[in-house]
Amino acid sequence: MQTFAASAAIQSLGLISGVLAARLLGPEGRGELAVIIFLPMLLVQLGQLELPRSLAYEVSRVDEISPVVIASSFWLAVGLGVLQALLLAGLLPLYLPVDKLHALSASRWFMVYLPAAYITATLMGSDQGRGHFGRFSLLLALPGALYVAAILIAWGSGHISPATFAVGVLAAMVFTTGVRMGLDWNVLRRTMPDWTTAQRLLKRGLSFYLPAVATFALYRADMFILVRMAPNEAIGLYAVAQAIAMGQVGTVNPFIQVAFAAVAGEVEPRQALQILARHFRLAQLAVICVGLLSAAVTPWLIRLVFGAQFIGALTTTYLLIGSTVLWGMEQVLEQGLRAAGHPRPGIISNFLGLVVLVGLGIPACARYGIAGLAAAVLAAQILNLAVLVCFCVAGLKMPTKSFWAFEAGTLSALALLLKTDWNKFRRNIWMMP
C-alpha cells in the first residue's frame, strides 16, 4: 500500500509538473527542457550497471545486512556517477545538433544529476531488498514534490525558462540524495568500503546489466530518433504525449519493485515462477484498467490542462498509452525472470523490439511525424511482450492461463493484497532498520 500511495503521488505530481511546464514554457520551451535533461535522466537507467538491483538481491537473502555492503555500494555509486558525468559532458557537443547547441552549457551542468541519482537509487536498493517499502515509497515521491515546489517558486518570482526548470529537477534530486544519505550516515562515515564486496556487487549487477541495456535501448530509442529528426515544437508535443502515457508507470512500478524482491527471495525455482505469474496477473489487471482510463480522459486532458496548442499530440498519446500498458506488463515479467535466473529472454525480446522500432520508426517519423514514431513504439512493445510470454510457456512450461488476469482468482488476490498492505501501512509507514 505504501508503494501504491507513493506511485499515485508520483503520477499526480508528474501530471502537475508536466502541465505547468507545458503551460509556462510552451511547445518550443518544453522541447528545449527535454533536450537539457534528456541524456542524464536517460543514462540513470543505464549507467548504474544494475547496482541497485544487485544490492536488493543480496539484501533479500540475508537476515541482517552488513555495514560493509552499504558502504561499498555507496562508493561504487559515487564513482560511477562522477566518471560518467564527466565523460558525458565532454561528448555533448558531438551529440547535440547544430540547432540545439545553445543548450550546451545548461546540459553540461545538469550532469550533476547523475551521481546524485546513482547514490539515491543504490541506497534505496537496500530498502527494496529489506522490504522497507514505507521509506522506499516516500523517497520515490520526494523528488517530484520538490520539483513542483521549485516550479511554483520560479513562477512566482517570474524566472520562467527551460534552464530554470532544469535547475528545479536537479535541486530536487540533490536534496533527496541528502535525505537518503542521512538515513545511513552513521554507517557511511564509520565504515570503509571493501573491494571484495564491491566486486561481488558489481559482478552480480553486470549479470543483470545486458537485459537492462536491452530494455533501456528499446524504452528510450524513440527519443534518440526524435531529438535527431524533429524540431523543438514536435519534441514538445511528443513530451506532452509521453507525460500522459507515462502516468501509468506509477501504477506498474510497485509490481516491478515488489515482484523482483519476492522472486529473488524464493530459492525453489518452480515456486519462484508461480510467484512471478501471480504478480504479472495483478500488474496486468492494474495497467490495463489505468490505460483505458487514461485513454478516455486524454482529449479533455490535453485541451483543458495542457492547452489547445498541444492538440496535435492526441493520436500520438493514444499510441503511447497502448505501448506503455504493454511495457508495464513486460517489465514485471522480464525483471521477474531476471530474479529467477533467466536474464537472456529479456535481452532477446528487447533486441527484437529495438529492431522493429528503429526499422519502422525512422521512416515513419520522417513521413508521418511523431504519430508514425509512436506507432513504431507500439509495434515494438507488442513483439517484446509476446516473445517473453512464449518463452515462459514453451521454455519454462508455465500454463498459458497463468498470464490471463481477468478471472475471479486474480480479482480476489488483488483485493486481499490491498487489504493486507493497508493494514501494514496503518501500523508503520516509515519502516526503520
DSSP letters spanning 274-326: HHHHHHHHHHHHHHHHHHHHHHHHHHHIIIIII-GGGGGGHHHHHHHHHHHHH
Band (431; pLDDT cuts 50, 70, 90): very low
Band (416; pLDDT cuts 50, 70, 90): low
Lookup: cell for 88:
558525458
For 304, counting Cβ atoms within 10 Å of its Cβ (0-12 exposed, 13-18 middle, 19+ buried), the class is exposed
Band (429; pLDDT cuts 50, 70, 90): very low
Per-residue pLDDT averaged across 138-162, rounded? Answer: 91
Nearest to 223 by CA among 208, 210, 249, 241: 241
Per-residue pLDDT, 111? 93
The contacts found for 271-275 with CB under 8 angstroms, 24 or more apart, are 272/339, 272/340, 273/340, 273/392, 273/396, 273/398, 274/402, 275/336
Contacting residues for 140 by C-beta, under 8 A, at least 6 apart: 3, 6, 7, 10, 124, 253
pLDDT per residue as tens digits for the range 310-326:
898 999 999 999 999 99
The alpha carbons of the chain give a radius of gyration, in whole angstroms, of 21
Per-residue pLDDT, 350? 92
Band (87; pLDDT cuts 50, 70, 90): very high
- The fraction of the chain above a pLDDT of 90, given in percent, is 44
Contacting residues for 415 by C-beta, under 8 A, at least 6 apart: none
Band (427; pLDDT cuts 50, 70, 90): low
Per-residue pLDDT averaged across 227-244, rounded? Answer: 86
Dist. CA 295–CA 321, nearest whole Å: 7
63: three-class secondary structure by DSSP: coil
Contacting residues for 87 by C-beta, under 8 A, at least 6 apart: none
Band (413; pLDDT cuts 50, 70, 90): low
Q: How many CB atoms lie within 10 A of CB 20?
A: 18
Nearest to 356 by CA among 221, 191, 176, 184: 221
Band (433; pLDDT cuts 50, 70, 90): very low
Dist. CA 364–CA 378, nearest whole Å: 12
Residue 383 CA: distances (Å) to CA of 231, 235, 322, 354, 388: 29, 26, 13, 10, 9
Dist. CA 416–CA 418, nearest whole Å: 5
When mean pLDDT is compared over 10-24, 254-268, 295-309, the highest value belongs to: 295-309
DSSP letters spanning 189-228: HH----HHHHHHHHHHHHHHHHHHHHHHHHHHHHHHHHHH
Residue 241 in contact with residue 374, Cβ under 8 Å? yes
Nearest to 41 by CA among 229, 239, 272: 239
Instruction: Look at residue 45 and tell me whether its pLDDT is greater than 80.
Output: no
Nearest to 108 by CA among 29, 39, 31: 39
What end-to-end distance do the CA atoms of the chain give, in Å? 19
Per-residue pLDDT, 410? 64
Counting Cα atoms < 13 Å in the Cβ hemisphere of 78 gives: 10
Instruction: Look at residue 430 and tell me whether its pLDDT is greater than 50.
Output: no
Dist. CA 331–CA 278, nearest whole Å: 14
Counting Cα atoms < 13 Å in the Cβ hemisphere of 382 gives: 12
Residue 73 in contact with residue 122, Cβ under 8 Å? yes
Residue 284 in contact with residue 405, Cβ under 8 Å? yes
Residue 333 in contact with residue 276, Cβ under 8 Å? yes
pTM (2 d.p.): 0.68
Residue 317 in contact with residue 375, Cβ under 8 Å? no
Per-residue pLDDT averaged across 173-186, rounded? Answer: 95
When mean pLDDT is compared over 3-7, 256-260, 288-292, 319-323, the highest value belongs to: 319-323
Band (432; pLDDT cuts 50, 70, 90): very low
At which residue does the C-alpha cell 530494455 appear?
215
What value does the mean pLDDT of the chain take? 86
Dist. CA 123–CA 71, nearest whole Å: 9
Ranges 5-14, 254-263, 315-324: which has the least confidence: 5-14
Band (26; pLDDT cuts 50, 70, 90): confident
Q: Which helix (H) or strand (E) holds 152?
A: helix 133-157
pLDDT per residue as tens digits for the range 59-84:
887 778 889 999 999 999 999 999 99
